[in-house]
């Protein structure tokens, strides 16, 4: 998978920019607050139609403009395609090869990316919500149907929570309506949980192998699914659906008193253990950083396994955050097999002697100059 060209119009601090990105390694160099991260973010948005930095789409549009447009030319093993995404106050319009896609889920997956940024350490040590977002974004670009199920689940969850807020003291009518929402919540919830279970099992397999290599066999990493009920080892969907419905009936009065949905995928979590100790609680900063690195490298291999080719790798000011050994491990992983985009404030933080045929772009106040 290869991003050959990127064009932005009214995106963040870029009125207009066109970049030929036809090298395996593309490095954006410049001082802070000049727009380097915006370039990597735009590639991420072109792949997933969402930013990893904000939930507010209006922040992606240049100040005093009414829309932003992102255009990319992507080369894959079955041919070259063009991706065109317009973001405005009215929503998003996405085109593949000039044809508008009725659903964004039909657009997502045309370009696969893995983003690695300093804040990804929060996946390991941050809140469960950060880990759920990580799961949703990564599963969604490999299995677009997951995004549909997730969207439906979230809509049902809003309606169910609204009903719960009105249900104390409980009435017969509200209780009957809650039973209807329960069936729908469980139906979509089970699909999400099964897909998360499958994804995490594959991620664990790759992450364990990679982490053992990074630590020279001294540490064993385990990634576990921690659902809001049960132990994460599910049977088939029908059995899980029964368990979901039984659990909902058991906590019905508690939910009505509190006015909120207490179980479901919206309360799932991920656990990381090194040598059987919880990394979030007991791990050193170095172990947490290595866990995050192992996760990202595992993502690369998992996507390659699922879609048949490597994703594009986005490294936002990461190399300077890693010690020399971890930086070498990362470079050796992506060298010659994964197209990589790197941001840095100075080339001294990048081991250029380890990189072959890198294109260097200097970024300054919304302009990009190719100096390679």
> CA 81 to CA 78: how far, in whole Å?
9
Task: Give Cα 72 to chain centroid, integer Å.
Answer: 19
Query: The tokens 């080339």 sit on which residue?
Result: 347
47, 81 Cβ separation under 8 angstroms: no
Does 95 count as an annotated binding residue? Answer: no
**Closest CA relative to residue 112, chosen from 351, 295, 338, 357:** 338
Does 230 count as an annotated binding residue? Answer: no
Does 30 count as an annotated binding residue? Answer: yes
Does 34 count as an annotated binding residue? Answer: yes
Does 31 count as an annotated binding residue? Answer: yes
> CA 40 to CA 73: how far, in whole Å?
15
> CA 291 to CA 211: how far, in whole Å?
7
Does 36 count as an annotated binding residue? Answer: yes
Annotated binding site: 30-37
Annotated binding site for ATP: 30-37
């Amino acid at each position: 998978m290869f991003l050959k060209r990127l064009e932005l119009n009214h995106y963040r601090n870029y009125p207009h920019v066109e970049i030929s990105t036809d090298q395996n390694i593309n490095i954006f160099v410049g001082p802070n607050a000049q727009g380097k991260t915006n370039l990597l973010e735009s590639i991420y948005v072109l792949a997933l139609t969402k930013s990893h930095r904000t939930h507010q789409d209006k922040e992606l549009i240049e100040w005093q403009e009414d829309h932003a447009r992102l255009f990319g030319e992507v080369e894959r093993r079955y041919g070259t395609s063009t991706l065109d995404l317009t973001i405005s106050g009215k929503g998003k319009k996405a085109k593949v090869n000039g044809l508008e896609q009725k659903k964004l889920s039909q657009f997502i997956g045309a370009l696969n990316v893995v983003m690695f940024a300093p804040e990804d350490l929060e996946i390991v040590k941050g809140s469960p919500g950060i880990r759920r977002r990580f799961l949703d974004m990564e599963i969604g670009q490999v299995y677009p149907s997951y995004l549909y199920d997730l969207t439906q689940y979230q809509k049902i969850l809003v309606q169910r929570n609204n009903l719960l807020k009105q249900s104390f003291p409980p009435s017969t009518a509200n209780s009957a309506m809650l039973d209807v929402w329960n069936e729908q919540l469980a139906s979509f919830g089970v699909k999400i949980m099964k897909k998360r279970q499958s994804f995490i099992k594959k991620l664990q397999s790759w992450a364990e192998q990679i982490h053992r290599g990074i630590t020279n066999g001294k540490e064993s990493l385990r990634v576990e699914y921690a659902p809001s009920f049960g132990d994460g080892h599910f049977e088939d969907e029908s059995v899980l659906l029964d368990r979901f419905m039984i659990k909902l009936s058991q906590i019905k009065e508690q939910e009505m008193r509190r006015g909120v949905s207490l179980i479901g995928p919206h309360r799932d979590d991920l656990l990381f253990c090194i040598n059987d100790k919880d990394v979030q609680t007991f791990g050193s900063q170095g172990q947490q950083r290595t866990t995050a690195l192992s996760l990202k490298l595992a993502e690369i291999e998992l996507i390659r396994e699922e879609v048949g080719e490597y994703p594009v790798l986005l490294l936002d000011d990461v190399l300077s955050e890693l010690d020399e050994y971890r930086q070498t491990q990362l470079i050796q992983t992506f060298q010659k097999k994964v197209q990589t985009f790197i941001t840095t404030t100075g080339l001294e933080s990048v081991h250029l002697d380890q990189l072959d045929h890198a294109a260097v772009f200097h970024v300054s106040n919304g302009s990009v100059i190719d100096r390679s």
